[in-house]
Amino acid sequence: MERSLNPVARWAIYTSWMLSLIGVGLATYLTIGHFSSDKTFLACPDSGLINCAKVTTSSESYFLGIPVAVLGLANFVVFAVLNSPWVWKIQNYWLAVARFALGIVSMLFVLWLLTAELLIINNICLYCTGVHVVTFALFVVLVRVCPIQLGWGVPTSAAQ
């Protein structure tokens, strides 16, 4: 049985795609910085609260042995595909669920990373903060439109 999906506003499609592409850019920069032998590559202050090198080289910059920057890049590449206007047009229930679930998981991971930065490392990274802001904005867009698109507890007439 094919599940029908409600239409999604154009603003949400293009906003989610642009945020995903911005995330790819930031995550690419952080990934290059992670593997660079030049720890000043990230062009970030290294004293006081803001210290990108300390954050990106901490033990918390790995998750299951994988650099968090690489996970972020993979996450945003998947988001860029799922949030592309062409994939939004595909009327597939499970693609829509995957998009929504990835938004939730990404936001939960960002909350963990913020906790690590503020309570464990005691420093923040400006570029990481950029990724966190983009992830939060993307989460807000997806929480606003995905339940409506999926028809979860929303009358069909309210979705239009």
pLDDT tens across 80-90, in order?
Answer: 999 999 999 99
3-class state of residue 97 by DSSP? helix
| pLDDT in the model for residue 159 | 47
Asked, for residue 4, whether it belongs to a domain, the answer is no
Task: Report pTM.
Answer: 0.90
What's the domain range around 57?
10-159
Q: Let me know if residue 102 belongs to a domain.
A: yes
Predicted confidence band at 97 (pLDDT cuts at 50, 70, 90)?
very high
Above pLDDT 70, what percent of the chain? 93
Averaged over 4-16, what is the pLDDT? 93
Specify the number of domains making up the chain.
Answer: 1
Backbone angles phi, psi at 124, to 5 degrees: -125, 155
- The pLDDT-based confidence of 148 (bands split at 50, 70, 90) is confident
pLDDT tier at 48, thresholds 50, 70, 90: confident
**C-beta neighbour count of 122 within 10 angstroms:** 12
CB atoms within 10 A of CB 70: 16
Identify whether 50 is part of a domain.
yes
- Please report the pLDDT score of residue 111 as a whole number: 97
Tokens matching residue 87: 């994939």
Q: In this model, does residue 108 exceed pLDDT 60?
A: yes
The CATH number of the domain holding residue 31 is: 1.20.1440.130
Q: Are 34 and 42 in contact (CB under 8 A)?
A: no
Mean pLDDT confidence for 25-44: 87
Task: Reply yes or no on whether the pLDDT at 66 is more than 70.
Answer: yes
Give the helix ranges, DSSP H, for the chain: 10-35, 52-56, 68-82, 85-88, 93-115, 126-150
Give the integer Cα–Cα distance in Å for 107 and 104: 5
Which pLDDT score, from 0 to 100, does residue 40 have? 73
Residue 62, exposed/middle/buried by CB under 10 A (0-12, 13-18, 19+)?
middle
The secondary element (H helix, E strand) that includes residue 67 is: strand 66-67
Assigned domain for 1 exists:
no
Please check whether residue 104 lies inside any domain of the structure. Answer: yes
Neighbours of 44 (CB within 10 A): 19
